[in-house]
Structure 1
Amino acid sequence: MEKKIKIVRNNQKGIQRIRFAVQSLFALLCIWIGVEFYLFVRFLETNGAAAFYQRPPGVDGFLPISSFMSFYYLLSTGEIHQAHPAGLFIFLAIVLMSLVFGKSFCSWMCPIGFLSELIGDFGEKVFKRRLKLPKFLDYPLRSLKYLMLGFLIYSVIFLMSPLAVKYFLDSPYNIVADIKMYYFFANISRTSIIVISILFILSIFIRNFWCRFLCPYGALLGIISLLSPNKIQRNVSSCIDCGLCNKACPSFIKVDKAKTVISDECSTCLNCVDVCPVKDTLQLNSLIPAKKKINKKYVAIGIVSIFMIITGLGIFTGNWQNKVTKGEYLLHYKMMNSYGHPTGPNAMKQLNEQANREIKSELKEN
């Protein structure tokens, strides 16, 4: 005789509305930063004639390569580089978030991830199903983001000494990298529009196309998330094999086949936990020091708190706004088109010294 299992209905409230609220608020914060940065650039464009708006430090969060190099420089020298210090603290917050709650930044705060979700939801409404690439395409394409991450790590850690990294971070090119990024989108080329349009269309057909296949930042956080002690676990004895968790997972993880979800693709969105119909069958557990259930609301509070505490630490220690003066920015802006990407330590050093000489000369004249 088969043993009868008493099924207790899961009546715990879902977390998706709260997650959507966090995503929306963070997206609005990014828009606010964008507006402030536009006003700052407008001040530079008018050579100081327009009202002065201080550069918003939060824009550093959109310079992940510079932030990663600042992190490497911090580990190598113990010093916080002052070109884009806010980027370093944002990077540290996201890494700590991943160590505690897995790749949660991608599904709770990342504006690109949020946009990808909205596009994916639209695609599912159109096609009435969640489309997935076959394995012979999915696995090779998923490796692309790790190849790009590997190239970045190799280029920075193995090819560049800490001194070379310092030369790059000191370079005028890095100082105005955020302004160059602004003009990339403000004066976007036809090729860039085509590429973005292709990614947009692909995201309608294949949910989270960019995040799943091409984002090196997501690849890094996915690897770090494997070290997190907090994992989604399935109670095999009470599981009724309904398969709802599989259908809800945006990353196509086979949750109903795992006792513990260990995957670099899991973003702790908790969709699977929300849809599970049986109480205490699928939940986020802390595996260290002992198996203990984590309330879903505490996940939301924890993710937001980690981000606010680490970035707040940067603010209160004076390592948030960079030390580039208004006058220096105006001079850098005039010469910005002559700043090319430094291709090596010597080039970085020469470019940096030359620019500093020119700036000091003009400051003396003024």
Structure 2
Amino acid sequence: MTNHSHPSTTTTHSFKDLISMRQAVQSLFLAISLFMGIMFYLFVAQLESGAMPTLERPPGVEAFLPISALISLKYFLFTGVFNTVHPSALVIFLIVCTTALVVRKGFCSWVCPIGLMSDGLAKIHSWLFKRPVHLPTWVDLPLRAIKYTIAGFFVWSVFFKMPLAAVEQFIQSPYNTFADIKMLDFFTNISTTSLCVISVLIILSIIVKNFWCRYLCPYGALLGVISFFSLGKIKRDKNNCIKCGKCETMCPGRISIMENETINSLECSACLRCVDVCPAPNAIGFSLVSGKVPMDQRKIALVIIAAFLTGITTAKATGHWQNGTRIQAYQEHVLQDRMSSQPPMKIPANTDPEKMKRMIERMRQKKN
């Protein structure tokens, strides 16, 4: 095996530099997500005030609607029509899946806000425990199957069980049309049950590193399956490897690196921790097309950012970014939702029905 198959082993960047670069990219996407979230919150707040919004609804919030994206993908594949309800959800979903074909589950370790949170919780784990806490294999394997089962359920339900007519009906339904507002409401008016579940997941992620990502995330599971066909792979040169085990210790996916020369694990997120921590020159590296295209952390960051910029720019140019739902429809939905959440008005028994009808009619006229 030639040295050019192991591009990143000769890098002069320290492990701290690598983490800083990866976290810088994660922080960039986190900042974008927070900005979009705030803008969407203000947009909905203006709707709830009854005024015509002066702020635009940020299309990028649809990145958090993966089920809508999956259903839109089936509709597009079977009809050739890019639906206008949540088009950017499908655009972002396609971008993420495309990156998986190049840099594996790079989305998980370079973009996903939950991945960044998991890194932070993993640091707390390291402060609390002298040695990493790993579940035994007989527990770990069944738990890892959960995320693939969930992902498989959604793919099977949408692509094999859901008729095309039902797909179209779902896309046009109020449930899907206003799913972004429901998503915001979930976070701004979180229930006690949801808060308890999230708290438990946080605690579990402190005890067992990357608990959510390793065992429960269906999005990561789907990307893992796609990454099986990825051009990018970790390569290990057994002649240069000194079998120190540092790569496996550092790997968040707990991949058995020293047992293989080519790493094609569904758990690999191209974080490159294993590459940079390796003390042996030319022992391990990440590359494309069987080692022909060397990839370091800078190139992976460039691939991911370029994929998002290219995909979003193309979607904007072709009219597949902004949704087609009218502002008036959003206003009506918010008004109806607010009215339905209020307790019913108690009408005195001696109220004149005709007088009540006239009052309601005047209120309607005033509204119009």
Pairing 1:174–2:176 present? yes
Q: Distance in 1 between matches of 2:84 and 2:98?
A: 21
Q: What per-residue deviation string (whole Å, max 9, x for no partner) do you get for residues 165-220 of structure 1?
A: 11101111111111111111211111111100000000001111111111110110
C-alpha contact 2:22 2:297 (8 A) present in aligned 1: no
The equivalent of 1:352 in structure 2 is none
In the TM superposition, what is the alpha-carbon distance from 1:118 to its structure 2 partner?
Answer: 0.8
Aligned pairs for 1:24-173 (under 5 A) are 24-48=27-51, 52-173=54-175
Normalised by the size of structure 1, how large is the TM-score? 0.87
The equivalent of 2:297 in structure 1 is 296
Distance 1:338 1:78, change over 3 A: farther
Aligned pairs for 1:195-210 (under 5 A) are 195-210=197-212
Pairing 1:332–2:348 present? no
Distance 1:304 1:188, change over 3 A: same
Q: Distance in 1 between matches of 2:180 and 2:76?
A: 21
Letter of the structure 2 residue corresponding to residue 206 of structure 1: V
Question: What's the secondary structure of 1:181's corresponding residue?
Answer: helix
Q: Distance in 2 between matches of 1:137 and 1:311?
A: 41
In the TM superposition, what is the alpha-carbon distance from 1:338 to its structure 2 partner?
Answer: 9.7
In the TM superposition, what is the alpha-carbon distance from 1:294 to its structure 2 partner?
Answer: 2.3
In the TM superposition, what is the alpha-carbon distance from 1:122 to its structure 2 partner?
Answer: 1.4
Aligned pairs for 1:278-357 (under 5 A) are 278-287=280-289, 291-336=292-337
In the TM superposition, what is the alpha-carbon distance from 1:336 to its structure 2 partner?
Answer: 3.9
C-alpha contact 1:10 1:276 (8 A) present in aligned 2: no
Normalised by the size of structure 2, how large is the TM-score? 0.86
In the TM superposition, what is the alpha-carbon distance from 1:53 to its structure 2 partner?
Answer: 1.6
Question: What's the secondary structure of 1:285's corresponding residue?
Answer: strand
In the TM superposition, what is the alpha-carbon distance from 1:65 to its structure 2 partner?
Answer: 0.4
Q: Distance in 2 between matches of 1:11 and 1:186?
A: 45
Q: Distance in 1 between matches of 2:287 and 2:190?
A: 45
Question: What's the secondary structure of 2:287's corresponding residue?
Answer: strand
Question: What's the secondary structure of 2:262's corresponding residue?
Answer: coil
Q: Distance in 2 between matches of 1:54 and 1:296?
A: 35
Between stretches 56-65 and 327-336, larger displacement belongs to: 327-336
Q: Distance in 2 between matches of 1:121 and 1:239?
A: 28
* Structure showing greater Rg: 2
Distance 1:181 1:296, change over 3 A: closer
C-alpha contact 1:93 1:306 (8 A) present in aligned 2: yes
In the TM superposition, what is the alpha-carbon distance from 1:337 to its structure 2 partner?
Answer: 7.2
C-alpha contact 1:10 1:278 (8 A) present in aligned 2: no
In the TM superposition, what is the alpha-carbon distance from 1:163 to its structure 2 partner?
Answer: 2.2
In the TM superposition, what is the alpha-carbon distance from 1:133 to its structure 2 partner?
Answer: 0.7
Pairing 1:194–2:196 present? yes
C-alpha contact 1:176 1:336 (8 A) present in aligned 2: no
Q: Distance in 1 between matches of 2:81 and 2:11?
A: 50
In the TM superposition, what is the alpha-carbon distance from 1:331 to its structure 2 partner?
Answer: 1.1
Q: Name the Cα RMSD after superposition.
A: 1.8
Of 266, 269, 281, the match for 2:268: 266
Letter of the structure 2 residue corresponding to residue 258 of structure 1: N
The equivalent of 1:4 in structure 2 is none
Question: What's the secondary structure of 1:232's corresponding residue?
Answer: strand
Question: What's the secondary structure of 1:324's corresponding residue?
Answer: coil
Letter of the structure 2 residue corresponding to residue 234 of structure 1: R
The equivalent of 1:356 in structure 2 is none
C-alpha contact 1:239 1:281 (8 A) present in aligned 2: yes
The equivalent of 1:347 in structure 2 is none
Q: How many residues align?
A: 332
Question: What's the secondary structure of 1:255's corresponding residue?
Answer: coil
Q: What per-residue deviation string (whole Å, max 9, x for no partner) do you get for residues 310-358 of structure 1?
A: 122111211111111221211122234799xxxxxxxxxxxxxxxxxxx
The equivalent of 1:13 in structure 2 is 13
